[in-house]
């Protein structure tokens, strides 16, 4: 215990020299640009898990740059609560890409809509710039069967 106390007394003043990054210049305000999912029925908030897919169309010449840009998107999805994330290329049509992520419940997914920041939107836009024709990707929501 004395060694730990002595180490603490020695290293705390040394740590004052090093500061954590505060994220200056990063806009963390909510972007609120994701539209509400379309549903034919009211979905119970605790229903889940929820599978969300986004279909992209990307020129094969841009595939490597697109996949690299999507790595940052994956980081955002996981940070916002996704249980799983993946990106796949269609074997039949090399221009087609499918991003998926799984959220624990419907309410958790709806919360993600509010967690998405303006800085996140810029990262998403960097990946979406590879979308052919500048169109938005096709977004779909799938619910697991009720138990």
Walk along the chain (147 residues) and give the pLDDT tens digit of each residue.
Answer: 888 888 888 777 877 777 666 556 666 666 566 777 888 888 888 998 999 999 999 999 999 999 999 999 999 999 999 999 999 999 999 999 999 999 999 999 998 888 888 888 899 999 999 999 888 899 999 999 987
What pLDDT, on a 0 to 100 scale, did the predictor assign at position 112? 85
Cα separations in angstroms, 115 against 28, 94, 121: 9, 32, 11
What pLDDT, on a 0 to 100 scale, did the predictor assign at position 26? 67
What pLDDT, on a 0 to 100 scale, did the predictor assign at position 14? 73
Task: Name the percent of the chain in helix, strand, coil, to the closest 5.
Answer: 40, 20, 40
Enumerate residues 6+ apart whose C-beta is below 8 A from 65: 130
What pLDDT, on a 0 to 100 scale, did the predictor assign at position 30? 62
What pLDDT, on a 0 to 100 scale, did the predictor assign at position 28? 60
Q: Measured between alpha carbons, how far is 4 from 64 in angstroms, rounded to an integer? A: 49
Q: What are phi and psi of 113, to 5 degrees?
A: -60, -30
Give the global pTM: 0.77
Architecture of domain 28-143: 2-Layer Sandwich (3.30)
């Amino acid at each position: 215990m004395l060694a730990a106390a002595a180490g603490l007394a020695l290293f705390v003043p040394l740590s004052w020299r090093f500061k954590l990054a505060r994220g200056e210049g990063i806009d963390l305000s909510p972007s609120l640009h994701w539209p509400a999912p379309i549903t034919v029925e009211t979905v119970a908030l605790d229903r889940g898990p929820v599978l969300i897919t986004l279909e992209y169309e990307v020129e094969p010449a841009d595939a490597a740059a697109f996949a690299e840009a999507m790595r940052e998107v994956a980081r955002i999805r996981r940070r916002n609560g996704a249980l799983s994330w993946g990106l796949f290329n269609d074997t039949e049509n090399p221009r087609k890409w499918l991003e998926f992520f799984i959220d624990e419940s419907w309410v958790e997914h709806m919360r993600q809509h509010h967690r998405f920041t303006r800085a996140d939107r810029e990262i998403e836009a960097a990946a979406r710039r590879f979308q052919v024709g500048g169109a938005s990707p096709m977004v779909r929501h799938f619910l697991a069967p009720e138990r």
